[in-house]
Structures are given as structure tokens and as C-alpha cells.
Chain A
Amino acid sequence: MLELKSINAGYDFLQVLWDVSFHVEEGELVALIGPNGAGKSTTLRTIAGLINPTSGEVLFNNKVINDVPTHLISQMGISYVSEKLNLFTAMSVQENLILGAFAIRDKEIQLETLAYIFELFPRLKERKDQLAGTMSGGERKMLAIARGMMSKPQLMLVDEPSLGLQPNLTNDVFRALIQLREKGVTILLVEQNVNATLGFSDRAYVLEQGKIVMEGPSIEIKANKHVRNAYLGI
């Protein structure tokens, strides 16, 4: 579904990604793990079209999407839930969600998806008239993920959903992601919580200093000596 072929990318004169190649197949939950500054977020931003790679190819459903502007990539079916969430803080929860379905012009489909989201995240339904900016950290993450789902994406890129959350809220967020996979949404997840992430993802890639250093099924990665030393502290 998604394939990166030797991507080189970065900001101005600072190159962050070096020859990064990986792929995500339909229905998979793939984790991208690595230390701070390894380029995980940069990878997601490149896929979402917020950064243009200097060389290499990003393929989505076998189409090159390197130079496609961000809003069209979103309309093609890739939803990026960024680390900063990028919510519309002065708008209500419901308005944020409806904007998530901006590309879907059919009002009925919009409302159907909204009802489904409210079913999935009852918390958001309770707070639908509250301003997004006044919600707690966990609720905002939920809202960002829910907004990302409103466009009925084929692929979701989720950036550090556990960042800054207390453990039980982190579990809620992870549970939501697992539910999403069960619904058939393909997910590429960037996470710092390596132990938990490797527990429920199908496959994983390890990114270090802008290079993919390891790949394989999550169980194997979790058993790997280097990963255990560096990330799991065992």
C-alpha cells in the first residue's frame, strides 16, 4: 500500500533521512521506533507531503506522491495525526470532526462517520460542544485521532500518541488504535513506548540516525539483543 524507496529528506541544509526504504501492506499495523532525533517524525511528515524529499520515491497504491501537495495527499486517503495534533483549538469538538471530513462532500456520509466516531469515542460525544483548546491532553489526542479518521482514510500515520500522557490514558489511545486495525485501517505508528508498541504491532522498523537499521515482525524485534539493550533497558 505504502512504499518508500531510498528517501533522502530533511530541513533546508540539514539532512535527516538517509536512504530510507520501507513498506506498509494493507491491513497492517507497522511500528516505526527509534531514539529521539532519529527522523521518525520527519519520515511521517515526508509521507504526508509537509516535506519534499530531495531524492527517492514515496509510493501510495503504486502512485508516486512525492510532489503531491499535502491537502491532496489527505484527499487520496492518507491521514496524518501529527505529534503537535494541529487541532483547531478555538472550534468545538464537533466542528473539528466535521472539518476532518472536509473532502467528503456528502453530508450523510459525514454524519454516519461522525456517529461511528462518537460510538468509538463516547468521551468525545459527551464533549462535542466544548472548545478543542480547553480539553485535557488525553482527550485532545483522542480528538486528533478521531479527526484523522473522519476522512475515512486507507492509511493512518500516527505520531507519538502516548507523548505526555499518563499510563492509563496511553492504554486508552493504544486500544483505540488496535480497534482501528480491526476495522481494516492500515496504520503506521511512531512511538517512544517501545515495549507496548512492539506488543501489539505486526511489524516494526528501527530507525537510528536517519537510517533503517533493523526490520522484521514485532516479536522478533522485541527479542533482539540490541533493541532490548537500547530501548527496553533489559
Chain B
Amino acid sequence: MAKDSMVRPAAGKSVVSLIKNKLPVFIVAIFSVILFAAIYIKGGNAQILNIFITGGMWALLAVGLALVFGVMNIPHFAHGESFMIGAYVAYFTFTPMQAYLYTNPSKFLSTMAPFGAILTAGLAGLLLGIIIERGIFAPLRHRTKEGWVMNAFLLTVGISFVLSNGANLVMGPNFRGISRYWDVDAVEIAGAYLSVDRLMALAISLVTIGMLWFFLRRTRIGRAIRAVSQDETGAQLVGINLDFIQTLTFSLATAMAAISGASLLFLFQAYPTVGGTPLYYAWYVVMMAGLGNVAGAIIGGFIVAMLQTATQVFVAVSWTTVLPTVVMILVLLIAPSGIFGSEVKGIQES
């Protein structure tokens, strides 16, 4: 049952009360603008573009986590393994295509092949999500909802171990990567050189997030997903099939992680534990933004990317994980439900 206190009253008319109501958001916004300017002065265009590219990836991953938590109340710690499987699937679809194109060059096909590989990874993610949800979470949910958050959390950790060790067993510990998807020269944007692969990764994550956003806001089933995240009983009472919505949500999240793993194959080579780093960053994002908040996860993705870039520019690359963690702790101390609070039910036993 959604807590009414979660919903803040409509912002007051005066600017003062608006700022008061959204204090954490304002602090973060001001802080972001300053940091953004500082990065621009010190690092130039290249670093700014870097923020957007990394931010896009974290946002895509974090949106999946936020959805799964908001709709199903599952703190999903096997999200990184979906990323890993996406990377493997893309590798094993792309390399044969690459080999074929080597002997039969075709400009059109070599432009399209990467899309094919990434799409295949997405479909594999969708399938994996359906299998995990139907095979593991649905039976648990039907048996008992007691201690659900904890049980679901432990299950995801178990799934994570099984999948990464399974990958180790089947594929071995080898790194499988590609140097790049699109065999074209880097593009110059505002004085900075960027590989087409990076730009495409950004475009793919933005398009995927945009499609998801449209789906959630404008379609009948998307509205049903939001309804389930706000009130499960209410959703059932208006005729929404809870099982269908939950399976759909989980498989969409898994597919997004797989797409993200696939489109970043040139950066993160496929190996059994490749999902660890992306998982941690995605968790920084959702904890900072507010668990279960999809819009917050998108913005949060870019904030975390900005913190990373700032660390790289002003401190040292080896400190990249430290600063976001420190900031996350500070945010949680000041605003325990995250910067953007949460419009969904959050942790609760029902």
C-alpha cells in the first residue's frame, strides 16, 4: 500500500516554499552546475562528452534496477550478470558476422551487424528475465510474501553466483572482446575526438531509455506497471494481472542490462565477472536517487558519471570509485530516501 506521506503536497506558490520542499534537489542542482563548470574549465569538451557517455550507460542500468525495485520490491543484485550475458551474446553473434564480412565486404552489412548483435543480446536478456522470474521469483511470491525483500535479495545474490560461475564453467575465465563495432574513424565533436562506438553506446542508451519512458507514461500496459508499483491490491482490483506485469517488468529490466552489456562490449570485454563494476555503479545511482524512482535513476546516472569524471580530472583515476561512494554516504545521511525521494512504496512487507 502506497504511503500517503510519500507524496509531497503540491509545491507552494512562493519560491521559498518550493526550495524548502525540494531542498536536496536544489543542493544537488547547484552543486552539479558548479562541478560541471569546473570540469569544463579544467578538462574541456572531451571530459564533458565523457560525462554524457558514461552517464548514459549508468542510467540505462540503473533504470532497470529502479523498475525491479519499484514494481517488485526486489533489491536486484544479479543485474550485473544480465550485463555479462548481454556481453557474451553480443560477442558470439558479432564475431561470426565480422568473420563473414571480412571475406565478403559489404558496407551496409557492416553498419548493421553491430545493431543485430546488440538486438540479439536484448532479446536474450528478455528471455533470461522471463525464465528467472517465472522459475524463481513467481513460485516464491505465490508461496509466501513474508520476509519478501530479504528473501528476494538473497535469491538475487544466489542467481548472481550461479550465473557468473556457470559462465566460468562453460566459457572459461578468458576475456572475449572486440576492439570496436563500427570500423570507422573517430568523429570530431567540438574539438574532442570520439570513437563512433562510444557515440553509438550513448545513442542506444538514450533511445532505449526514451522508449521505456514513453512506454511507462503513454501506454496502457506501462500505466499498469506504474499502478502495480503504487498499489498492488488496487492494481488487482481494477483487473491488472499482477503476474504478467511482474514478469514483464523483470524481463524488461534484464533486457536493458543485456543491451547495455552488449553495446559496451568494446569497453568491457566479456568474462564471467564483468558485471561487478556496472552493478556497483548502478546501485550507487539508485541509492543516491531514491530506490524505485525511475526518473531519478536517469538523472542520477549522469550525476554519478559527473562525480567519476570529476575524480579523474581533479584527483586521480584510481580514486574513481571512492568519491561516488563518499558522496552516496553523505546523500544518505542528509536525505535517507535519496535525492529525489521516491514516488513508489519503497521497502515494506506486504
Contact = CB atoms under 8 A, between A and B. Distances in A.
A131 interface: yes
B241 A71 contact: yes
Contact of A91 (B4, B10, B227, B237): B227
A70 to B, nearest CB: 4
A88 B227 contact: yes
B326 to A, nearest CB: 31
Contacts of B236: 50, 69-71, 74
**What size tier do the contact residues of chain B reach?**
20 to 34
Contact of B223 (A74, A95, A148): A95
B230 A90 contact: yes
Nearest to A147: B238
A216 interface: no
Contact of A89 (B231, B237, B240): B231
Interface in A81-131: 82, 84-91, 95, 98-100, 102-103, 105, 130-131
Contact of B343 (A69, A90, A100, A148): A90
Contacts of A86: 1, 231, 233-234, 237
A209 interface: no
B240 A102 contact: yes
Contacts of B2: 87-90, 133
Nearest to B228: A88
Contact of B4 (A98, A105, A133): A133
A87 B234 contact: yes
Given A98-B223, A102-B220, A87 B231 contact: yes
Nearest to B242: A71
B211 interface: no
A85 B224 CA distance: 17
B231 A103 contact: no
Given A90-B7, A102-B238, A84 B223 contact: no
A69 B239 CA distance: 10
Contacts of A133: 2, 4, 6-7
Given A90-B343, A98-B223, A134-B7, A75 B1 contact: no
A95 B225 CA distance: 13
Contacts of B10: 130-131, 134
A75 B237 CA distance: 9
Interface in A130-183: 130-131, 133-134, 147-148, 150-151
B147 interface: no
Contacts of B9: 134
20 contacts: A50-B236, A70-B236, A71-B239, A72-B239, A74-B239, A85-B234, A87-B234, A88-B230, A89-B231, A90-B2, A90-B226, A90-B343, A95-B223, A99-B223, A99-B235, A102-B240, A103-B239, A134-B9, A147-B238, A151-B239
Interface of B: 1-2, 4, 6-7, 9-10, 220, 223-224, 226-227, 230-231, 233-242, 343-344
Interface of A: 48, 50, 69-72, 74-75, 79-80, 82, 84-91, 95, 98-100, 102-103, 105, 130-131, 133-134, 147-148, 150-151
Given A87-B234, A88-B227, 16 more contacts: A50-B236, A70-B236, A71-B236, A72-B239, A75-B239, A84-B1, A84-B233, A88-B235, A89-B7, A90-B230, A91-B227, A95-B223, A99-B238, A130-B10, A133-B2, A133-B4
